[in-house]
Amino acid sequence: VRSCYDEGKRTAETLTMDYHRGAGVEVRIARIFNTYGPRMCIDDGRVVSNFVAQALRKEPLTVYGDGKQTRSFQFVSDLVEGLMRLMEGEHVGPFNLGNPGEFTMMELAQVVQETIDPNAKIEFRPNTEDDPHKRKPDISKAKELLGWEPVIPLRKGLPMMVSDFRQRIFGDHKDGSSDMSSTA
């Protein structure tokens, strides 16, 4: 079921390297892992945005399977910094850009509960076919060659995303959030 997704990424990397080797095209390859933050599409189907939107709307948080599968989550500004270092550097890659800190889906649901609504309910549903049990990036190459690693932990980044989602869903500024589109 997931083969088109997995093989599509492999094909893109292969073609990129073929152009690099055969035609001398300057390229960079980043393998981007789960990223979250303000301005994400609210209903994009990604687990962090799903949980945040569900909790804000007072809907149950949907956990697939037993909730023991793990993922890692990087804040968007960490990804941007990694991509900038990759693009400005001399190394082609591939580089894993992600946060190696792992959370089970249940732990993520609990962090969202703590951040938004301690009374939010969790609803279990059958797991999707071919769902990987573990996803954790090895960022040692990015650390060594790009001098990059993520710096914003989930518990610090999530409230910034929640403030943005709350404002866009309800149009309010609860928790002292400000209009994220105004920058100085």
| pLDDT tens figures, 153-172 | 999 999 999 999 999 999 96
Gap between the Cα atoms of 77 and 153, Å rounded:
11
| CATH number for position 161 | 3.40.50.720
pLDDT in tens, 61-87: 999 999 999 999 999 999 999 999 999
The count of domains in the chain is: 1
141: containing domain: 31-169
**Is the residue at 36 inside a domain?**
yes
36 has catalytic annotation: no
**Is the residue at 103 inside a domain?**
yes
Residue 5 CA neighbour count, 13 Å, CB half: 5
**Is the residue at 182 inside a domain?**
no
Question: What is the average pLDDT value for the chain, to the nearest integer?
Answer: 92
Question: Within 10 Å of residue 100's Cβ, how many Cβ atoms?
Answer: 16
Cis peptide before 118 (omega within 30 of 0): no
**Is the residue at 2 inside a domain?**
no
The verdict on pTM exceeding 0.85 is yes
pLDDT higher than 80, residue 177: no
pLDDT in tens, 2-59: 788 889 999 999 999 999 999 999 999 999 999 999 999 999 999 999 999 999 999 9
**Is the residue at 67 inside a domain?**
yes
In the prediction, which pLDDT does 174 show? 57
**Is the residue at 47 inside a domain?**
yes
Helices (H), the chain: 3-23, 47-56, 76-88, 105-116, 140-146, 154-170
In the prediction, which pLDDT does 178 show? 44
Q: What number is the average pLDDT over the span 102-123?
A: 97
Token readout for 165 is 């989602």
**Is the residue at 4 inside a domain?**
no
Candidates 5, 19, 36, 64; catalytic one: 5
In the prediction, which pLDDT does 181 show? 44
**Is the residue at 93 inside a domain?**
yes
pLDDT higher than 50, residue 176: no
